[in-house]
Homo-oligomer: A and B are copies of this chain.
Amino acid sequence: MSRQTTVTITDVAREAGVALGSVSNAFNHPDKVRPETLARIREAADRLGYAPNQSARMLAGGKNRLFGLILPSLDHGVSLQIANGANAEARKHGYGLLIATAQTDEEIAHRYRDYFMGTQTAGILMQPPAVLNWQPPAHPPRIPLAFLDIQCDVPGHFVAADNFALGELLARHAFKSGAQRVAIIGKPSLNRLVLRVKGMEHAFTTESDCAFEVVEEGAWNSAHDGLDLGRRLAERPEDTRPDFIIALTDTLATGAISGVRAAGLRVPGDIRVAGCDGNPLAWTGPVPLTTIAPIGYELGRRGVHQLIAQIEEEPEHEPENHQELVRPFLLARASTGMNRSDDFADPDIDISGYL
């Protein structure tokens, strides 16, 4: 038996000896079917291996308790955290989550977006690719939509870390831990990096008399460039050498630590080093890195909230800007001397807890 390609609702109805409509009710409004009939229908469905054709369901007007999440990749720390946060929160509210990765290819991202829209997904979450001055599509979306990990002031829904506050936080950590000369390294080639730098500059100039410089060099996400920068800074004569390095990303920071040590200096003994983006993937170096607590999970959670809010609220007459900012927290560890660097695997850097 069952060498047939497709089992339809009609087959189940025939098998159970009831009308088609009753089978539909059995699945969608079980309370409207007499229990005994319901049992017979379920049993018939099982025997036949019936799985409803979702396309037909949706077409006929069903709602889909499913969100779509479009990520540029799945190997970057934040994306993974977003996926897990969004998944947990969606589940909590009775929704499922489908994740797609677009490999930073706009064309592919569009295709997934159209697919999700075209299958009556309840909402779409999207982390835009890491490009400077990214802008959301002009067309107002036809279904709930929110963008993650991006600060933006055009109409739409956006969730991101408060990168300005994040910059301030790290700057304060630097001068409170006694830094005299701070070097901020990394090219601010993304809006969020620019905001971090602004936050740092603001805190340094208004709250301290600590000297600082911005070394705008190297790719924003290259451990190799970090190593190079770290070494060069460490090799400066002692009177111009920074005693604290803030790297705009953790990857850069990890590289910088290696660079400083390659130049024969100690971290945090001679130079303290901090990262900026709570990226557990970069936490594999010999010194546990001070950085921001990973925030992606929270971004994912809040994104789902935004979606649910859009579903429940009246649609807006005038599209407005909804920017939600998540407050960052510092993770003070050995690389800035705020925590012992012991011999054991530091439980703080069991990264699996952060993914």
Contacts and interface: CB of A to CB of B under 8 A. Distances in A.
Interface of A: 2, 5-6, 49, 51-59, 66, 74-76, 80, 83-84, 87, 91, 96-101, 103, 108, 111-112, 114-115, 117-120, 139-140, 142, 223, 227, 251, 254-255, 257-258, 261-262, 281-286, 343-346, 349-352, 355
A96 B84 contact: no
Given A96-B112, A118-B57, A119-B55, A344 B262 contact: yes
Contacts of A284: 283-284, 345-346, 349-351
A344 B59 contact: no
B59 A257 contact: no
A330 to B, nearest CB: 20
A291 to B, nearest CB: 14
15 contacts: A6-B142, A51-B114, A51-B118, A54-B55, A54-B115, A74-B74, A74-B355, A75-B84, A83-B101, A87-B103, A96-B108, A96-B112, A96-B115, A251-B352, A284-B350
Contacts of A349: 284
> 6 smallest A-B Cβ distances: which pairs?
A54-B118, A55-B58, A258-B344, A285-B345, A99-B99, A55-B55
A344 to B, nearest CB: 4
A55 B350 contact: no
A255 B352 CA distance: 14
Q: Interface centre among A2, A251, A285, by most B CB within 10 Å?
A: A285
B257 A345 contact: yes
Given A87-B74, A345-B258, A223 B55 contact: no
A286 B345 contact: yes
A119 B55 CA distance: 5
Given A74-B87, A75-B355, 14 more contacts: A51-B114, A52-B114, A52-B118, A53-B118, A66-B115, A75-B84, A80-B80, A83-B101, A91-B103, A98-B100, A99-B99, A223-B345, A258-B344, A262-B344
A100 to B, nearest CB: 6
A343 B261 contact: yes
A84 B71 CA distance: 12
B74 A80 contact: yes
A211 B27 CA distance: 60
Contact of A97 (B100, B117, B281, B345): B100
Contacts of A98: 98-100
A159 to B, nearest CB: 19
A261 to B, nearest CB: 5
Q: Interface centre among A115, A284, A351, A355, by most B CB within 10 Å?
A: A284
A101 B118 contact: no
A96 B103 contact: no
A93 B222 CA distance: 30
B101 A87 contact: yes
A267 to B, nearest CB: 10
Contacts of A76: 352
Contacts of A52: 114, 118
Q: Interface centre among A54, A251, A262, by most B CB within 10 Å?
A: A54
A221 to B, nearest CB: 9
Nearest to A113: B51
Contacts of A97: 100-101
